[in-house]
Structure 1
Amino acid sequence: MDCGENIQLMGTRNFPRCESALHSEIEALRWAMENMLQHSPCQNFGTDCKDLIAMIEKPKEWPRFATELEKIETLQICFPDFKIIHVPRARNQFPDFLAKTARTFRRVLLFIGCSIPVWLPRPPQA
């Protein structure tokens, strides 16, 4: 996202099943951060998961996720102005659609770009 909280790049990937929904959220953030290092000077990330933000702000309070949070902390060093914000679900419909679509693919799906490629289904119009 840019400074005005507008989406600059989006992406999706279907991951193998994770231990929990929160593990999936952390894995998705890690993947996004790694890719932004290669594709964009992006510093701002958004999520509709308040627990993920709490985990990043106070990792010691989430010992079950210590290994995953260590990876995020290491990546944060590469983002001097790293920021993660809460995006309400009402404003997060498009990324949510991409995530749900990725889960339906039976083969590996990996996408990063500024717009939805033609081979991905389109979100329903509101």
Structure 2
Amino acid sequence: MGTRNLRSRESALHSELEALRWTMESMLQHSTCQSFGTDCKDMIAMIKNPQAWPNFSTEQEVIQTLQNCFSDFKISNIPSAQNEIVDSLARTARSFHIYLCVN
């Protein structure tokens, strides 16, 4: 799909959830993909047991709503060492600084 330089968030986990939200929305519009992969084990744990992560309830609600749009949603752990291309894209995307000025 590509990369997107998302705004800075409170924590790395918030950023991971924002990236998953964007990816899920993109897949709903452009693909029949039902399976997602991440190297963030905490995010997978949060999706499987949201009650254990009450500080992320707002983000979880959005992810859950999107999950319901997929007939067979799956998310799995893919260590970054096993997915060098995506890891490289993520590092590159984090290095971009884009500024937008509106008059």
TM-score by length of 2: 0.91
Where in structure 2 are there 5+ consecutive unaligned residues? none
Q: Where does 1:1-126 land on structure 2 (aligned, <5 Å)? A: 10-107=1-98
- SS of match in other structure, 1:13: coil
Q: CA–CA distance in 2 between the matches of 1:60 and 1:82?
A: 19
Q: What's the C-alpha RMSD, in Å, of the aligned pairs? A: 1.1
Higher relative contact order by CA 8 Å / sep ≥ 6: 1 or 2?
A: 1
Given that residues 45 and 85 in structure 1 are in contact (C-alpha distance below 8 angstroms), is that contact kept between their aligned partners in structure 2?
Answer: yes
Superposed displacement of residue 11, structure 1: 2.2
Bigger mean CA deviation after superposition, 14-23 or 84-93: 84-93
- SS of match in other structure, 1:100: helix
Superposed displacement of residue 78, structure 1: 0.6
- SS of match in other structure, 1:12: coil
Q: Percent identity?
A: 65
Report the residue type matching 2:76 in the other structure: I
- SS of match in other structure, 1:11: coil
Where in structure 1 are there 5+ consecutive unaligned residues? 1-9, 109-126
Superposed displacement of residue 88, structure 1: 1.4
Corresponding pairs, count: 99
Q: Which has the higher helix share?
A: 2
Report the residue type matching 1:14 in the other structure: N
Q: CA–CA distance in 1 between the matches of 2:72 and 2:14?
A: 24
Superposed displacement of residue 100, structure 1: 1.1
